[in-house]
Amino acid sequence: MAKVLMKGNEAVGAAAIKAGCKYFFGYPITPQNEIPEYMSRELPKIGGVFLQAESEIAAINMVYGASGAGARVMTSSSSPGIALKQEGISYIAGAELPCVIVNMMRGGPGLGGIQPSQADYFQATRGGGNGDYRHIVYAPSSIQETVDIMMESFDVAEMYRIPVMVLGDGMIGQMMEAVEFHEPKKRELQEKTWATDGTKGKRKPNIINSLFLDPQECENHNIRLEEKHKIISEKEVRYEAEGIEDADVVCVAYGTTSRIVKNAIVECKKEGIKVGIIRPITLWPFPMEIFDKINKNAKGVLTVEMSMGQMIDDVKIAVNGRFPVHFVGRSGGMVPTPANVIDSIKNIAGGVK
């Protein structure tokens, strides 16, 4: 298929439909409105359903119902709206249902602002909902990658029966880039024998549930979930790493900020400073092991985020005291410039020419 120029938000919708998603429940919020708008236009054409819910809370619970009934379903929102969805995400994780949730992050806390931000890293990776649960978080850095991940995320969600979050920001949502739609690699998916579609008097009732009143049963459920989380951590980690084995400084950045870092790296190279980059593509599971490959003589690791410093916690866990970990970040919708990053790299590199 030929390349098309698409806005990130519309590309999300187009990719979801190509991946077989037929149901969308959402609520308007900037800067992701083109997603529900696209779905409201396109889903009826293919016999799917778009429904604008009365709130983000209702929307995620509609997703919960639709997923339980066996459908490929998604919702999208932006930061404050995703905060409202946390209850439902916890239930969906608890009931082990698949779904895809897109968050085009904006500045916070509270109503915050509408410009791009990465301040929902904690919310996405630590879970804003209650209980011992995890869900996969993808952080694409281009529209092409957003499309590729969207198309694969429905399969991943169904394979593990787990919510998958695609974490972008206002810039990923609003910008246009050239994209091509490729079929993702096929995954082996089980039939949804657990779905609520009526017993027809032929089987025992299927029950979609996250309630376990007996604490031992509830613990057993958590142990089972944890086993699943471990498998995902082993099999689904994704990252991009470049130049880290002989780097003076290694930058860690995801999504939009990773692009700024790449510009900074090109400039530093001109001045003879060797800078590597680790770009986590999955934020959970976080690519811990690649940090073992960093040049033992590196001067330090620099985390770059559009937040006051959230992913840096995971970077510190991964670095495990081996290098000093530094931070550059802007917040509230401000975007760090390559110059900000270059200055920090030079400070860390210090004695290096």
Binding site for another protein (CB under 8 A): 3-5, 23, 25, 30-31, 49, 51, 53-55, 57-59, 61-71, 73, 87-88, 91, 95, 114-115, 170-171, 174-178, 196-202, 205-211, 256, 259-260, 262-263, 266, 335, 337-338
Asked whether 129 and 93 are in contact (CB, 8 A), the reply is yes
Closest distance to another protein from the beta carbon of 337 (Å): 5
C-beta of 95 vs 218, nearer to another protein = 95
C-beta of 196 vs 295, nearer to another protein = 196
C-beta of 178 vs 317, nearer to another protein = 178
Closest distance to another protein from the beta carbon of 46 (Å): 14
Asked whether 61 and 88 are in contact (CB, 8 A), the reply is yes
Please measure the distance between the N-terminal and C-terminal CA atoms of the chain and give it in whole angstroms. Answer: 47
d(CA 92, CA 95): 5
C-beta of 20 vs 65, nearer to another protein = 65
Closest distance to another protein from the beta carbon of 145 (Å): 12
Closest distance to another protein from the beta carbon of 66 (Å): 4
C-beta of 64 vs 323, nearer to another protein = 64
For residue 225, give the nearest of 100, 90, 96, 125 by alpha carbon: 96
CA dihedral 239, 81, 331, 174 (to 10 degrees): 70
C-beta of 114 vs 159, nearer to another protein = 114
Closest distance to another protein from the beta carbon of 7 (Å): 8
Closest distance to another protein from the beta carbon of 143 (Å): 9
Pairing of strands 49-52, 23-26: parallel
Token look-up 């529900």 returns 36
Q: Sheet with 49-52: list strands edge to edge.
A: 49-52, 23-26, 73-77, 99-105, 163-169, 136-138, 282-284
